Structure 1
Amino acid sequence: MRTVFILPYAFPAFMSALLWRGMLNREFGIINDWFFFGADINWLGDPFLAKVAILWVNLWLSYPYWFLVCTGALQALPSETMEASRMDGAGRWRQFRSITLPLLMVSTAPLAISSFAFNFNNFTIIYMLTEGGPPFPGTSGLGSTDILISAIYQISGVSGGSADYGLAAALSIIVFIFVGIVSAIAFRQTRKARRSSHG
C-alpha cells in the first residue's frame, strides 16, 4: 500500500499535470467517461471547477511527500514516552492529542513552511494544467486560476503580447516579501513549539 501511495512522487510534476489535463478534458477525458458516466463537465473551462481541478492535482502530487515524512516522523517517536503514557492511563485520543501531535508538528513544521513557499510559487501546475484560464471576461491574458507567479509571467510578456516590466518586477518583490514574512513567522512558531516540547 505504501508503494501505491508514493507512486505520484515518482512522476515529474509537469508530466503529471499534462496527464491530468488530458484526463480532465471535456470531450475525451476519462474522468467524465469513467466516473461521471460520460457527462459533459467542463473541468478546465469553468472558473470554479478549474480551481477544484488544480487543488486536486496539487494534492495528488504533494501527498506522497507528506506521507513519507509523516510516517518517518511517526516511526521516530520515542516509544518510552508512549509506554509511560499508557501506564499512566492515557487513552489513544489523549496520547494522540498530548504526545503524538505536538511531536509530529515539531518535525513537520519546516515541511509545512517549505510546502507553502513552493505552492505559493507553483508555476508548473498552473501553466501545464490550465495556463491560468479560463480568462476573465474583458481581459487579455489573466485568468481565474492565475496565481501571482503565473500573473507575473503573463504581465512580463514572456508568453507574448504587451509587456509591463515595471509591474512584473513590483509583483515579484511583493511575492518575495510575503513569502519571507510568512516563513519568518512560521520559523518563530516552530522554535516556540520545539522549546515547549522539550520543556
Structure 2
Amino acid sequence: MFVISTGALQALPSDVYEAAEIDGASPIQAFWNITLPLLMITMGPLLVASFAFNFNNFVVIELFNKGGPPMSGTISPVGHTDILVTYTYRVAFASGRGADLGYAAAITVAIFLILVVITYFQFRYTHMLEERSENV
C-alpha cells in the first residue's frame, strides 16, 4: 500500500500546484482540493480491497484463540471474539452438531451485501472513481 501511495503522489502533476499557488491557495487548501481528490482515484480500489480483507480477517482470530471463549447459554457455536467470517466457518465446518451449510451460505450472502453497501457509499460520497478533467 505504501509503494502504491508513494508512486501515486509522485505521479501528481506539478503544474496544478503551481497554478494553485498563483491563485493564492494555501498548502492545506492545495492538499484538500488537489492532492486528496487526485490521490483517491488511485487509492480508492486499494482502500476498498484492504477494507474487505480486514473485514474478513479469518486467520488472526482462528489461529489466536479460535473465536473463544465460547458463549454460554447459546445453541450456536459462537465465541466472544468471533467475527462474521469465523462464525460462518464454525457453523459450516467446525460445529459439533454437524454442518449447517444453508445457514452458513446465508451468513456469507449477508457479509457480501454489507461489503457492497459500504463500498457503494464509499465510492458515492468520496467520488473516488471519477475521472478528473485536464484543467482540474
- TM-score, reference length from structure 2: 0.78
1:31-46 equivalences under 5 Å are none
Alpha-carbon spacing, 1:94–1:189, altered in 2? closer, same or farther (3 Å)? closer
1:41-120 equivalences under 5 Å are 65=1, 67-120=2-55
Q: 1:90 Cα deviation (Å)?
A: 2.0
Q: Distance in 2 between matches of 1:126 and 1:171?
A: 18
Tell whether 2:74 aligns with 1:145: no
Q: Distance in 2 between matches of 1:165 and 1:84?
A: 59
Gaps of 5+ in 1: 1-64
Tell whether 2:115 aligns with 1:179: yes
Deviation by residue 1:155-178 (Cα, 9 ceiling, x = unmatched): 11x235113222112112222233
Q: 1:192 Cα deviation (Å)?
A: 6.7
Alignment match, 1:165? 101
Q: Distance in 2 between matches of 1:132 and 1:84?
A: 55
Q: Distance in 2 between matches of 1:185 and 1:71?
A: 26
Q: 1:121 Cα deviation (Å)?
A: 1.8
Tell whether 2:55 aligns with 1:124: no
Alpha-carbon spacing, 1:134–1:68, altered in 2? closer, same or farther (3 Å)? farther
Alpha-carbon spacing, 1:161–1:120, altered in 2? closer, same or farther (3 Å)? same
Gaps of 5+ in 2: none
Q: 1:189 Cα deviation (Å)?
A: 5.0
CA RMSD of aligned residues (A): 2.5
Alpha-carbon spacing, 1:133–1:69, altered in 2? closer, same or farther (3 Å)? farther
